[in-house]
Copies of this chain bind each other. A is one copy, B any other.
């Protein structure tokens, strides 16, 4: 039995191919590398029905993942997150078939666990003993914890303004944690210099090829959860954009192996950004193939405060190929939507997930989302990781006091 059908790596920009059995970072041309599989052999040897009885985590798709040996899998039970109908919120915004894929129900409380699980597993398999990365918080927390489970030493650099809870997660894991008085781009420069100086493995977004394979499993799960079919629209909060690139890659791979029909139109992918940090939206509106650095970026949805993403051209390509779009949401609108989701559905979503619901509302109002379409909003993390987005004035009683109506 073949555990993984991994074949090689290739550069989506210049086409150069690389041997997947070696450690690689970026292509010599500076672009991120993508992972290829022997899809023809996979299609002839594995059936989608084989998946059904497997454990409900992302490793159920191991043939489409890069880890060669099950012994190298570093798992905390991540994946197969719930796909929930949210009919009350849907009705509230006029979308009859609205679903939430809830990535808060995963180790470390954010979808970053997927990239970390697969990225760390593959790094371990290829002999990495020490890695470094910049982060807006959640990715660093996930990589720090998975690295601890793998016995890999992690250096994490995050902005001082990143969510405090993610700082604690890194610290408790025993990682080498450093804060920077700046943005994730500043953290990236510090990591870049350390990687050069000390020969660390660079686990920055898209600077190693395997994180995207972990994120891809959101697309695999969505297809399986829709009964090996796809919805009409998927909205995704876009910072680095790895999940959106991954979902697109997943769905194309599933069509190539025949697990979803080749003639089925793929979902229109929507990149949701914050008005205070919208480089992809700007590039989309200007019809460009790459984004520019977005100056003075600021938003309460910290996870999507990424002023320039290395994979921007892949995100824009996925939007074009699927007839999708890009849209920016203001902080006030997303905070309102966070409250709507909690009051109407009992779902305490993260600000980035709330932005996606706000985007769904706007796209339905404009008619871009049509009557009767099946719409999936990706909530990328648990609201409990961002306690400061909720302010509550709560009365305090003494034990002898009574409640009033």
Contact = CB atoms under 8 A, between A and B. Distances in A.
A401 interface: yes
Contact of A343 (B146, B173, B177): B173
A338 B403 CA distance: 38
A182 to B, nearest CB: 4
A82 interface: yes
A178 B82 contact: no
Contacts of A172: 338-339, 342-343, 348, 383, 390, 392
Given A76-B84, A348-B172, A180 B387 contact: no
Contact of A403 (B155, B169, B344, B382): B155
B155 A190 contact: no
A403 B82 contact: no
B53 A76 contact: no
A167 interface: yes
A402 B347 contact: no
Given A106-B105, A172-B390, A392-B167, A56 B53 contact: no
B77 A105 contact: yes
Contacts of A53: 52-53
Interface string A390-405: 1010111111011101
B109 A346 contact: no
A171 interface: yes
A148 B343 contact: yes
Label chain A's interface by main secondary structure.
Answer: mixed
A361 interface: no
A403 B193 contact: yes
Contact of A346 (B106, B146, B157, B160): B146
A108 interface: yes
Nearest to A155: B403
A307 to B, nearest CB: 13
Contact of A165 (B106, B179, B190, B384): B384
Contact of A177 (B174, B179, B394, B401): B394
Contacts of A384: 108-109, 165, 168-169, 382, 384-385
Contacts of A76: 82, 84, 102, 346-347
A342 B149 CA distance: 8
A20 to B, nearest CB: 25
Number of copies of this chain in the oligomer?
2
Contacts of A168: 383-384, 387, 390, 392
A394 B179 contact: yes
Contact of A397 (B102, B190, B338): B190
A180 B399 CA distance: 6
A279 B217 CA distance: 46
A157 B57 contact: no
A363 B176 CA distance: 33
A262 B219 CA distance: 43
A189 interface: yes
Contact of A81 (B77, B194, B338): B77
A226 interface: no
A186 B145 contact: no
A395 B179 contact: yes
A47 interface: no
A379 to B, nearest CB: 11
Contacts of A84: 75-77
B387 A178 contact: no
Interface string A95-128: 0000000101111110000000000000000000
B148 A399 contact: no
13 contacts: A74-B346, A76-B102, A108-B348, A145-B347, A167-B394, A173-B348, A174-B339, A177-B392, A178-B394, A179-B395, A181-B399, A193-B402, A193-B403
Which 4 pairs from chain A and chain B are nearest by CB?
A77-B82, A149-B346, A171-B392, A56-B56
Given A105-B105, A105-B107, A190-B397, 10 more contacts: A56-B80, A76-B102, A77-B81, A88-B151, A145-B347, A149-B345, A165-B387, A172-B343, A172-B390, A198-B403
